[in-house]
Amino acid sequence: CERQSLANCDKVVDTILSRLTQSDKLQLESGAETVVLLNNLGSTSQIELNILSGAVLQWMRQHFFRVSRFFCGTVMTSLDGHGISISVLKVHDPKWLSALDAECDAPGWRNVQAIPNDNIRLTAITHAEVKLPVLGVEIDETYAQKIKNCLHAAVTSLIASESELNLLDSRAGDGDCGSTMAVAANAIETAIRNGSLHFERPQTCLLQLSTIFENEVGGTTGALYALMLSASCSCLSSGATSVDWYNALKTGLEAVMKYGHAVPGYRTMVDPLHAAVSAYDASVSTKPDWHKLLSYAETAAQNTKFMRAQCGRASYTSSSVQTEPDPGAVAVTKWMRAIHDKAFADN
């Protein structure tokens, strides 16, 4: 038994099946006839099982093992069981297949899937690359580098906060907030390294970040951040002043509230965003005090521990377990703090 870092589907399947097929007890040789069972430990979604099924069958074919029967379902589970198990049976007698094909009254035993002798071939579907238009005001190289530095600081902070956010989310959520934000952060970091982000065009850059969240990040988090960034970028079409960035933050918040159906006090990412936006009054000051905005946001995020969740996964849990700050709200302050500190450190 061994604990490993989060990996993609193909890596997980390769790790499991490599150990199984190399087992001295199983004694599988090239061309061996097998039966494979892919088991949902309890909380793996159907779409994830479908993806894993394809990966398992592809791996077996590539390693020259014949899969005569394939089972996939929720067979053996445990409470809060995140993940899957794979079982491989070497067929020594054709009668075994007949026995496995026999009808059964057990409700948890799903129908078997017979695999053709030539095995299935999975072909990746290629999609035409969509190129985003280059939009918005163009800024000088020094300013563009500053934005790049701030974004790098934000993703670095989110990656470093993965365990902390997961722990917060495990109290009253799915326990994956940190992992989800880390996926986003790593995807953005890759885009920074390969030079694909248009830092000289802030509007285009935010639109690119929105696309990353839409394509690379799953769940509600990916959708809400994609909507927030897509809405925000419109405020940077003709300028990138401090007030323009504030308006971008405000417009992004409005999009999250509109499509996420959350309002301040619901114990969500809206709370720190709304607090930050509310900290600036254009009638009093000509430009936002970002120190004040950040302070208000961090206080609001911490105060979510006193709120009853009314949106998201946490809203289905007992208020007795909602004793820590909301992880989504804390995540907002992580990237806000990182951007703030880097921006003003460079001044």
Of the candidates 93, 88, 85, 92, the one whose C-alpha atom is nearest the C-alpha of residue 60 is 88
Q: Calculate the CA 208 to chain-centre distance.
A: 17
Does residue 271 carry a pLDDT above 90?
yes
Q: Both tokens of residue 83?
A: 């993940």
Query: Contact at 8 Å (CB) between 267 and 309?
Result: yes
pLDDT digits (tens, 9 = 90+) for 200-210: 999 999 999 99
pLDDT digits (tens, 9 = 90+) for 41-96: 888 888 999 999 999 999 999 999 999 999 998 888 877 677 899 999 999 999 99
Does residue 335 carry a pLDDT above 90?
yes
Q: What is the mean pLDDT of residues 193-219?
A: 95
User: What is the C-alpha to C-alpha distance for residues 108 and 111, in angstroms, rounded to an integer?
Assistant: 10
Does residue 224 carry a pLDDT above 70?
yes
**H helices then E strands: how many in the chain?**
12, 4
Long-range (24+ apart) CB contacts under 8 A made by 127-133 are 132/204, 132/207, 132/208, 132/211, 133/204
Q: Both tokens of residue 46?
A: 């159907």
Does residue 120 carry a pLDDT above 80?
no
Greater model confidence, 282 or 124: 282
Domain ranges, ordered by start, for the chain = 9-114, 141-345
Greater model confidence, 147 or 107: 147
Highest CATH level, class, for 141-345? mainly alpha
Q: Calculate the CA 299 to chain-centre distance.
A: 26
Q: What are phi and psi of 224, to 5 degrees?
A: -70, -40
Greater model confidence, 69 or 282: 69
Q: What fold characterizes domain 9-114?
A: Hypothetical Protein Tm841; Chain: A;domain 3 (3.30.1180)
